[in-house]
Amino acid sequence: MISLPWAKGTTPLMLAPMQGLTNDALRTCYIEHYQPDIVFTEFVRVQTQSRKRIAKAELGEIAAHSSDVPLVVQLIGNNASALADGAMQVQDAGVQHLNLNLGCPYGRMTTGATGGELLRDPESLAELLMALRRSVRGSFSIKCRAGYSDPRQFFKLLPVYLDSGIDYLILHPRTVIQQYSGCADHDLTAEVASRTNLPIIANGDINCAAMGQKLLQETDVSGLMLGRGALADPWLFQRIRGELPGVSDEGQRRNDLYQLLTDLLPRYLVKFCGERQALMKLKDLLNFIPDECLQRDIGKLKRTTTVPGFSTVLESKFLC
């Protein structure tokens, strides 16, 4: 029997894969302080035209994961044989949980469609999923949009997913063409979870504890995946579990952001080449902090050009 990346009878709260954001430094920071149950890599590109299906640097980062918190490697690609080879390489690097990206709305490579684009061809998708299932020794999941242009397409795709033998499914209930516009339709998530025994993980617009708790209490979802909401409020995992108050005041939010950035800065200086790139990566993260009360001072952080300048603004404006 294949083991899921969470214990039977528990409700997993996962940190979502977000390209350019959830690198190993950020994942480690979240594991140490904010307690997600499961973390995902950024999507890992599987090369079709190279024998080295996965880049050496990405394999090294995967192999370096040493936490007891399960790591799921998310693959993105479009060739069944190449993806199967890539899955074997990842597993040889020590990871037992794999996921296929069927949700990225910008999913194209030079060799063809990837991500959400694959939903346009269910027949080829079925072949690809079957090939991956045969190659994955541990848990195998997908992260998908509801459909390409029609959210009800999900129910035509569900038999394809079930026949392929996936172990669980992460649903972002928008279409591919919606990208990130509009709202995630969690009425659809609830309908999906009620119509299948496959574990369904809800993802998309879960930005506060009340929303997460409502989904867990009023639907049959097996867990939640937190993305932008967990960047805006790293403590969201504990809030949903009821371990912290559901909301915080402005002073606490300022201090929380100070603690997050203070922890990430030295990690990013080690990971990235030089101060400039480390600052750029931190500023990318700031784009996902929607708190209107903090925007003026977040703007001051974004305008800094040196690490000392960044640290001075951070301490003067956010340390309470």
Task: Encode pLDDT of 130-169 as tens digits.
Answer: 999 999 999 999 999 999 999 999 999 999 999 999 999 9
What pLDDT is recorded for position 109? 52
Asked whether the predicted pLDDT for residue 279 surpasses 60, the reply is yes
- H/E stretch holding 29: helix 24-33
* pLDDT surpassing 70 at residue 184: yes
Tell me the per-residue pLDDT of 20-42, one tens digit each, with 9 for 90 and over.
999 999 999 999 999 999 999 99
3-state SS assignment for residue 288: coil
Interval 239-259: pLDDT, tens: 999 999 999 999 999 999 999
Q: How far is Cα 252 from Cα 44, in angstroms, rounded to an integer?
A: 35
Per-residue model confidence (pLDDT) at position 48: 84
pLDDT digits (tens, 9 = 90+) for 93-124: 999 999 999 999 876 554 678 999 999 999 99
Q: Do 131 and 84 form a contact (C-beta atoms < 8 A)?
A: yes
Q: What percent of the chain has pLDDT over 70?
A: 98
Which residues, at least 6 apart from 308, have a Cβ–Cβ distance to it below 8 Å? none
> Using 50, 70 and 90 to split pLDDT, how confident is the model at 13?
very high
Could you tell me the two tokens for 115?
A: 């991500």
What does the pLDDT read at residue 105?
87
Question: Is the pTM for the entire model greater than 0.75?
Answer: yes
* DSSP 8-state class, residue 19: T
**How far is the C-alpha of 184 from the C-alpha of 201, rounded, in Å?**
13
Residue that wins the pLDDT comparison between 3 and 180: 180
Superfamily (CATH) of domain 13-241? Aldolase class I (3.20.20.70)
pLDDT of residue 111: 60
pLDDT in tens, 185-194: 999 999 999 9
Calculate the alpha carbon distances from 180 to 105, 106, 172, 177, 205 in Å.
9, 11, 10, 9, 10
Q: Which DSSP string corresponds to 45-114?
A: EPPSSSS--S-HHHHHHHHT---SS-EEEEEE-S-HHHHHHHHHHHHHTT--EEEEEE--TT-EETTEE-
- Domain boundaries along the sequence of the chain: 13-241, 250-318
At 107 the pLDDT is: 61
* Span 271-290, average pLDDT: 94
The predicted-structure confidence for 63-83, as pLDDT tens digits, reads as follows 999 999 999 999 999 999 999
**What is the rounded average pLDDT for all residues in the chain?**
95
Confidence of residue 320 (pLDDT cuts 50, 70, 90): confident
Structure tokens at 34: 């904010």
pLDDT for residue 215 is more than 60: yes
Task: Look at residue 306 and tell me whether its pLDDT is greater than 90.
Answer: yes
Share of the chain above pLDDT 90, in %: 92
Q: Residue 273's pLDDT is what?
A: 87
Write down the pLDDT at residue 220.
98
* Confidence label for 3 from pLDDT (cuts 50, 70 and 90): confident
Rounded average pLDDT over 274-285: 95
- Report how far residue 168's alpha carbon sits from residue 193's, in angstroms, rounded to the nearest whole number: 11
Q: What sign does the dihedral 113-87-138-11 (CA atoms) show?
A: negative
Tell me, what's the pLDDT at 78?
92
CA distance readout (Å), 172 to 143, 227, 238, 296: 7, 11, 22, 31
pLDDT range class, residue 262, cuts 50, 70, 90: very high
In the prediction, which pLDDT does 1 show?
55
> pLDDT value at position 92?
94
pLDDT tens digits for 42-57? 999 998 877 789 999 9
Structure-token match 């949700």, residue found: 103
Q: How far apart are CA 3 and CA 26, in angstroms?
A: 26
